[in-house]
Amino acid sequence: MSHRNVAMDEQSRAAVPTRPAPPPPPVASRNGKRADELQNISTEFVVPQHSLRVLIATQEFNEFRILDRIYTEHPELGIKTIGWCDNGINLYQAAIDGDADVVIVDPETRSFQHEDVQRLWIYPNKPIVTIAAVPPQSGLANTLKQLGAVDLVTRPLTERSAHELVAKCHVGVQEALRYRASVGYIPQMDSKTAQVIASRGWQQGVIVVWGPKGGVGKTLVACNLAVALGVIGNRRTVLVDANMAGGNDHHHFYQSIPQTQLGKNISALADRALLHSRYGPIQPSATGMLGQRPILPSDEVDAHLFRYGESQLKLLIGIPRQHMGGYECFSDENGRAFFRELVASLRQFEDFIVVDIGQDANVPLHLAALEFADYVYVVVTPDRSSILATREALDTLFKHVKLARSKFRLVINRYHDSSGISRAEIVKALDMPEIATIPDGGPAVSNIVNSGKPLMLDHRGQVADGIISIASTIYPPTRDIWTNRGKLGKKPQAKNRGALGNIKAGLRWLVLGEGNKP
Ligand SMILES: Nc1ncnc2c1ncn2[C@@H]1O[C@H](COP(=O)(O)OP(=O)(O)O)[C@@H](O)[C@H]1O
Ligand SMILES: [Mg+2]
């Protein structure tokens, strides 16, 4: 398998004729001020004297070669390619190390991290702008614009694209510098987010949503938590519907899920696992040698997941009928082994695994989920039966099953002051940290759920806010992204803004949440 990255690509680049260029002047020399000083002063932007430094991240080396040749042969275009990157994992660091002004990114590049677009844009020394190279008529164009790409170009990249990109790069960089120098630039919010991301102030993990009572909101919380992490927070997230009393997570997404997908559910996958464990996982590997193939290879797991739109969220749909929970593949040791293998496989590629399980902890798969979870978010409602049932069930889990108390967290759902039981009383009775209290949203919530589109995506009320509180305990930037997302302010003058005006208005909307989405 080829795992070329930027460092190794230096070798391949040796074959590409490049002319030596003087090291680029530091940002300060562009206009005599450090970028971080600029935010307070509204200065005229001075056209940079040197060529723009451009990093190219595509799957196809040939695309890089075409661009590199043209920009090398025509220095008057003012663009210098600084390298090729075929693995998104390296993109951010390569852009920083190479002092890039622009990255041209094919979002289908392996391991491309969506948040890199914003991280580069808010890089403290100078903005590094992203231009997305997307296949024609692809939904990716919109996604990339939303992520903050300043412009788009259509793949495959040809000589024509090389010329088209010249203006896009120069305009993109000029606008970004002008924006950073303007009073409207507010770096605090974004740099805080960036810090968290940079310091990895979060951990990958398995989050199980559970509660020993039915109808308390486990499914609502699990589905929307997964949306908060995977769609709003843009982290690779899988929602696993492991409720053995019948799966219903897909109802929260049914507007988008084709009927044909429903057959690729957790039961189909558990059957595969049972088959592999029975008839041996040993298969010849690609090299012709006998290699150990896991009971649940990642490609097989991935083939059973449904990707939600263009987002980072995927779903493993639950069992469509209750009796399927009694299948052999879920029973006793089989159920436990399946869950263990499933998690091991998902952990390789996903940041967060959110698992919705049914109320009954005696079901082998549910118990396995509680056991393999990094965190269990226990959902209770403010009524005696829910609280007492939860306390009893937890006692058993701590005493007899020996689950670690420290991984349990409390979510109070459908809370209202008139219930006669206060939050403090609930926390005291259950003796675990409370991470969120979600108010009772009344029948409107069921109405939204019935619409078949997750609540988080269209609603900004207090129920959604409570979900964000939960998500930000797992992935802290979610809160900032949420607060600044799609804020409606005064509508910018739409008329005759021109291309630059459009870009500017778009950026204001993206970064500040000011104005309307252009
Ligand atoms: N905070 C809330 N406000 C209003 N209705 C809610 C709230 N949380 C859950 N519900 C509703 O309660 C019902 C049961 O929720 P669900 O998530 O299916 O519970 P569980 O998975 O625990 O059985 C659903 O109709 C859901 O829309
Ligand atoms: Mg449920």
Q: Which residues contact 209 (CB under 8 A, 6 or more apart)?
A: 218, 221, 222, 225, 354, 355, 356, 357, 376, 377, 379, 411
Helix 498-507 to helix 159-181 angle (10° resolution) is 60
pLDDT at 295: 85
pLDDT at 199: 58
Q: Which residues contact 178 (CB under 8 A, 6 or more apart)?
A: 45
d(CA 41, CA 44): 9
CA of 448 relative to ligand 1 center, distance in Å: 11
CA of 363 relative to ligand 1 center, distance in Å: 22
CA of 357 relative to ligand 2 center, distance in Å: 7
Domain match, 165 and 305 both: no
d(CA 499, CA 150): 11
Is residue 362 in a domain? Answer: yes
CA of 344 relative to ligand 1 center, distance in Å: 30
**CB distance 216 to 380 below 8 Å:** yes
Is residue 508 in a domain? Answer: no
pLDDT digits (tens, 9 = 90+) for 85-132: 999 999 999 999 999 999 999 999 999 998 899 889 888 788 999 999
Mutation probe of ligand 1 site: the residue of 210, 220, 376, 419 with most atoms within 8 A of C-beta = 220
Domain match, 341 and 428 both: yes
CA of 239 relative to ligand 1 center, distance in Å: 17
Ligand nearest to the CA of 445: 1
Is residue 504 in a domain? Answer: no
Closest C-alpha residue for ligand 1 atom 14: 215
Domain match, 340 and 464 both: yes
C-alpha count within 13 angstroms, C-beta hemisphere, residue 378: 30
Domain match, 314 and 445 both: yes
Is residue 54 in a domain? Answer: yes
Domain match, 119 and 250 both: no
Domain match, 129 and 213 both: no
d(CA 244, CA 87): 39
Q: Where residue 31 sits, what CATH number does that domain have?
A: 3.40.50.2300
CA of 415 relative to ligand 1 center, distance in Å: 12
Domain match, 136 and 208 both: no
Taking alpha carbons only, the member of 100, 65, 106, 101 closest to residue 88 is 106
Residue numbers of the domain that contains 260: 198-281+290-484
Domain match, 205 and 170 both: no
* Residue 58, φ and ψ in degrees, nearest 5: -135, 165
CA of 434 relative to ligand 1 center, distance in Å: 19
Is residue 424 in a domain? Answer: yes
Is residue 190 in a domain? Answer: no
pLDDT at 125: 82
CA of 362 relative to ligand 2 center, distance in Å: 16
Domain match, 84 and 205 both: no
Ligand 1: nearest atom to the Cα of 444:
4
Q: Where residue 381 sits, what CATH number does that domain have?
A: 3.40.50.300
Closest C-alpha residue for ligand 1 atom 24: 446
Ligand 1: nearest atom to the Cα of 440:
3
CA of 413 relative to ligand 1 center, distance in Å: 9
User: Residues enclosing ligand 1, CB less than 6 A?
Assistant: 214-220, 413-414, 438, 440-442, 445-446, 449, 463
Is residue 429 in a domain? Answer: yes
pLDDT at 14: 35
Ligand 1: nearest atom to the Cα of 214:
23
**CB distance 170 to 78 below 8 Å:** yes
User: Which of 120, 145, 180 marks a domain boundary?
Assistant: 180
Ligand nearest to the CA of 318: 2
Ligand 1: nearest atom to the Cα of 223:
17
Mutation probe of ligand 1 site: the residue of 445, 462, 469, 470 with most atoms within 8 A of C-beta = 445
* Residue 154, φ and ψ in degrees, nearest 5: -90, 135
Ligand 1: nearest atom to the Cα of 216:
22
Taking alpha carbons only, the member of 54, 57, 68 closest to residue 91 is 57
* Tens digits of pLDDT across the chain (518 residues): 334 343 333 333 333 333 333 323 223 333 333 333 333 333 333 445 679 999 999 989 999 999 999 999 999 999 999 999 999 999 999 999 999 999 999 999 999 998 899 889 888 788 999 999 999 888 889 889 888 899 999 999 999 999 999 999 999 999 888 877 765 554 434 555 556 555 556 788 999 999 999 999 999 999 999 999 998 888 899 999 999 999 999 999 999 999 989 999 999 999 999 998 887 654 544 444 445 667 899 999 999 999 998 789 999 999 999 999 999 999 999 999 999 999 999 999 999 999 999 999 999 999 999 999 999 999 999 999 999 999 999 999 999 999 999 999 999 999 998 989 999 999 999 999 999 999 999 999 999 999 999 999 878 889 999 999 999 999 988 888 888 764 432 233 344 555 555 555 544 444 333 444 44
CA of 480 relative to ligand 1 center, distance in Å: 26
Is residue 496 in a domain? Answer: no
For 387-490, where are the E strands, in sequence order? 408-415, 434-439
Ligand nearest to the CA of 357: 2
Closest C-alpha residue for ligand 1 atom 15: 217
Ligand nearest to the CA of 252: 1
Ligand 1: nearest atom to the Cα of 438:
1
d(CA 327, CA 325): 6
Closest C-alpha residue for ligand 1 atom 13: 215
Domain match, 170 and 244 both: no
Q: Total structural domains in the chain?
A: 2
Domain match, 248 and 331 both: yes
Mutation probe of ligand 1 site: the residue of 446, 448, 451, 453 with most atoms within 8 A of C-beta = 446
CA of 220 relative to ligand 1 center, distance in Å: 6
**CB distance 502 to 177 below 8 Å:** no
Phi-psi region of 337 (alpha: psi -120 to 50; beta: other; left: phi over 0): alpha
* Residue 89, φ and ψ in degrees, nearest 5: -55, -35
Please name the residue ranges forming H helices in 376-422: 384-399
pLDDT at 502: 57
Closest C-alpha residue for ligand 1 atom 9: 217
Type of residue at 260: T
Which two tokens mark 505? 């208005």
Ligand nearest to the CA of 441: 1
User: Which of 120, 150, 180 marks a domain boundary?
Assistant: 180
**CB distance 378 to 394 below 8 Å:** yes
Closest C-alpha residue for ligand 1 atom 6: 445
Closest C-alpha residue for ligand 1 atom 10: 217
d(CA 19, CA 73): 9
d(CA 476, CA 84): 32
Torsion of CA 341, 344, 348, 354, to 10 degrees: 100
Domain match, 152 and 204 both: no
3-state secondary structure 411-426: EEEEECHHHCCCHHHH
Mean pLDDT of the chain: 82
CA of 250 relative to ligand 1 center, distance in Å: 14
Ligand 1: nearest atom to the Cα of 243:
21
User: Which of 180, 215, 237 marks a domain boundary?
Assistant: 180
pLDDT at 477: 83
